[in-house]
Chains A and B, each alone.
Chain A
Amino acid sequence: MQIAKRALFAVAVIGLAARPASAQIDLSGIWAPIMHEDQAERAPGPEIGDYAGLPITDAARSRGLTWDASLLTMPEHQCQPHPSTYGFRGVGNLRIWVDQDPQTQQVMSINTQIQWMEQRRKIWMDGRPHPPEYAAHTWQGFSTGHWEGDVLVVQTDHLKAGWIRRNGLPLSDKAGMEDRFIRHGDLMTHISMVYDPFYTSEPVVKTNGFRLGLANRLDPYPCESVTEVVRAKGAVPSHLPGTNKAIEEYAAKYNMPVAAAAGGADTALPEFAAKLKTMPVPAKAK
């Protein structure tokens, strides 16, 4: 009987050793965004008319130029959170936690919450399919995830119409995103790849960092809309097509060609840097 027990123990040990290793890595904790890149866009906010480097379509540019920053003073817009396609580059700490089935310990979902406007996102990890197109579209969208090695890869759709950049560059409700979370010790690199059949000519790929901190906090962020500006009923701040000179003004302010400020996939390529020196720059307004 003693031999039999030892044999069973050996089999059990061998069985454990042969079990497929779990590739997942723990992302749990509160992460602070590192604002060393695109800081001017991400913290104070982008300048109006700055589309440089973004692979936008003509439709996106035209629609962007109808946007007026006063829109953000309207009660309907004051408490809008960022969509998940933009929030990870915004301000506010990020908390990540895991929901597991209490009996099986299977990971059901990985959840993220960004402090600003309480952006809560659920990333389903249980293999469920995405819902049909007619299902509700939300700010954070519907997300499912899987692991590629130690990298969490997430697919998101069912988004509300949002923005590529919070200076009016639009994103349609047909947009989607694949994002990746790569942890290197206390640093995490987040990669977002946003694509839109209407407003991007190729995926908008952005990468930025977070740092894990044991003392990091996530405070509440209640928001209540108020009347900031009294307007006539139905009035919506906007610009009619052809009337907004924001791109020209931004280009003049920073001594760059209008074609650079106007964006497009070619403006992100190294050869565009060489062309800059040969292109006319608009005169600064006096």
Chain B
Amino acid sequence: MKRLTSATLKGSLYAAILTTATLAAQQQAPAPAPPTPRAAAPIDLTGNWVSIVNEDWRWRMMTPPKGDYTSVPLNNAGRAEADKWTEAQDGSCQAYGAGALMRMPTRVRISWQDDHTLKVETDAGTQTRLLHIAPVGSAPVEPPAGAPRSLQGYTAASWEFAGRGGALAFGQGGGGGGGRGGRGGPAPLPKFGTLHAVTTNLNGGWLRKNGVPYSQDAVVTENWDRFKSPNGDEWFVVTTVVSDPKYLAQDFVTSSHFKKEADGSKWSPSSCK
């Protein structure tokens, strides 16, 4: 084992003093503004995407028959409501609400409406969702007081950064940086993470095209993650948890995956009624 010499101790002392002085100087400087959600994004969800429907094919690509609510954990009230559906209602916009929209066979176009808002559009049913993302380290965005209920509701979102067990306070660094920022300000934000979104203010809708219901009391919690497949294709998966005390006996959990497309040339809006 190497012995500590006087020179080693002196060197360590100088290093410590120098670092302490640097930290003190940083503490006196005005804190920089946190980056906008757009600048802080650990993953890029923008672009043109297409849902690949290789799960629940019969319940997503076709309108299931009345009373087919296979695998949806409805309670008695939910089943009773689902049984009211008639074939004449097929194609209703009720099936395109935030609780089920990402489960639709659809193309999705995602773009930044502004530095704080991610816009998610679908050509199926021609719907638009707005994900209001909180600045890094801030509390989730609250729905404006008196905001009306709607099919897409109000979505409050936040970035969850990898390596820190979720939310990150500005200046914490992370993802390999660790600790507070070094020279020149905070450490770079991690390049891995998740978009966590919670949607409320819904006016209810259908989990499936055949009228399987969720109520206006439902809360839709989503995690959006990006990944790449071995052949180089880019994907995102959105894990959706629908909680509804009125019609569901337990949370309804699905995960839907989308492949990136080169452009929007296959965008084909369809209406709902």
List residues of chain A with CB under 8 Å of any chain B CB: 3-4, 6-8, 10-11, 14, 17-23, 25, 34-40, 52-55, 148-151, 176, 178, 180, 182, 184, 187, 189, 191, 193, 195, 202-209, 211, 254-256, 260, 267-274, 276
When chains A and B are docked, how far (Å) is the Cα of A20 from the Cα of B225?
Answer: 24
Chain A residues in 8 Å Cβ range of B162: 23, 149-151
**Interface pair A20/B230, CB less than 8 Å apart:** no
Question: Which residues of B (219-256) have their CB < 8 Å from a CB of A?
Answer: 223, 225, 227, 229-231, 233, 235, 237, 239, 241, 252-256
Q: Are B16 and A191 in contact (CB under 8 A)?
A: no
Q: Which one of B17, B164, B227 contacts A180 once the chains associate, using CB atoms below 8 Å?
A: B227
From the candidates A4, A53, A187, A273, name the one contacting B253 in the complex (CB within 8 A): A187
A253, chain B: closest CB distance, angstroms: 10
Binding site for A on B (CB under 8 A): 9, 12-13, 15-17, 19-20, 42, 50-58, 61-62, 70-73, 104-107, 123-124, 162-165, 174-180, 182, 190-194, 196, 223, 225, 227, 229-231, 233, 235, 237, 239, 241, 252-257, 259, 266, 268, 270
Q: Is the CB of B253 within 8 A of A11?
A: no
On whether A151 and B192 interact (CB within 8 A), knowing A37-B71, A53-B54, A189-B223, the answer reads: yes
Interface-centre pick from B52, B225, B233 (highest chain A CB count, 10 A): B52
4 closest pairs, A vs B, by CB?
Answer: A149-B192, A149-B162, A39-B71, A17-B179
| Complex Cα spacing A7 to B54, Å | 61
User: Counting chain B CB atoms within 10 Å of each CB, which of A22, A39, A205, A276 scores highest?
Assistant: A205
Q: Report 21 cross-chain contacts, Cβ distance below 8 Å, ordered by A residue.
A: A4-B9, A7-B13, A11-B12, A23-B163, A36-B73, A36-B253, A38-B56, A40-B70, A53-B53, A151-B227, A178-B230, A182-B223, A189-B225, A191-B257, A195-B230, A202-B231, A202-B233, A211-B253, A268-B57, A271-B266, A273-B105
User: Contacts A52-B61, A205-B54, A270-B53 known; A19 to B178 CB distance under 8 Å?
Assistant: yes
A270: chain B residues within 8 A (beta carbon): 50-51, 53, 104-107, 123-124, 268
Which residues of the other chain, A, contact B9 by a CB distance below 8 angstroms? Answer: 4, 7-8
CB distance from B234 to the nearest CB of A (A): 12
CA distance A40 to B190 in the complex (A): 40
> Which A residues touch B106, using CB under 8 A?
270
Minimum distance in angstroms from B142 CB to a CB of chain A: 22
Determine if A207 and B55 form an interchain contact, defined as CB atoms under 8 angstroms apart: yes
CA distance A55 to B53 in the complex (A): 10
A4–B13 contact, CB under 8 A?
A: yes
**Cβ of B176 and Cβ of A21 under 8 Å apart?**
yes
Minimum CB distance partner of B173 in chain A = A21
> Which residues on B sit within 8 Å (CB–CB) of A3?
13
Minimal Cβ-Cβ distance residue in A for B42: A149
Nearest neighbor of B122 in chain A, beta-carbon distance:
A270
Check A191 against B237 for contact (C-beta < 8 Å): yes
Task: Find B241's partner among A187, A202, A206, A268 (CB 8 Å cutoff).
Answer: A187
Q: What 18 new A-B contacts, CB under 8 Å, besides A150-B192, A189-B225, A270-B106?
A: A17-B178, A23-B162, A36-B71, A37-B255, A39-B71, A52-B57, A53-B53, A53-B61, A149-B191, A182-B223, A203-B229, A207-B239, A207-B256, A209-B239, A270-B105, A271-B266, A271-B268, A274-B270
Given A7-B12, A270-B105, A193–B19 Cβ distance below 8 Å? no
